Amino acid sequence: MDNKKKENLIESYKKYAEDNGFRLNPDKKVVERLIKGLFANEEKYGAKYCPCRRVSGNKEEDKGKICPCQWHRDEIEKDGHCYCGLFVK
């Protein structure tokens, strides 16, 4: 994994979180593991699908699973974090 790409993605998710009233998980190991999974899914499926979601291969069905997924705001509000833990309250 290219370190520059990784750092750029982390920074963009950090800004996204701040702009939307939550935070990127402060545990760097968790964030790096999830970023690695996002890049692996992008290589395998062509999009940065959340590593915690099951990809069916149906692009229309799977489009809501691209990080940040369609459920992350509800999960953060309900549980204090999204399902995978990339974003926290």
* pLDDT string in tens for the chain (89-residue length): 689 999 999 999 999 999 999 999 999 999 999 999 999 999 999 999 999 999 999 999 999 999 999 999 999 999 999 999 999 99
Domain encompassing residue 10: 3-88
Per-residue confidence (pLDDT) for residue 2, from 0 to 100: 87
Q: How far apart are CA 77 and CA 44, in angstroms?
A: 31
Q: Helix or strand or coil: residue 38?
A: helix
Give the count of domains, the chain. Answer: 1
Give the number of other Cβ atoms within 10 Å of residue 72's Cβ.
20
Per-residue confidence (pLDDT) for residue 46, from 0 to 100: 95
> For 77, what's the count of Cα atoms within 13 Å in the CB-facing half-sphere?
5
Per-residue confidence (pLDDT) for residue 1, from 0 to 100: 66
- C-alpha angle 88/1/6, rounded to 5°? 40
pTM of the model: 0.92
CB distance 72 to 80 below 8 Å: no
Q: What's the CATH number where 40 sits?
A: 3.90.460.10
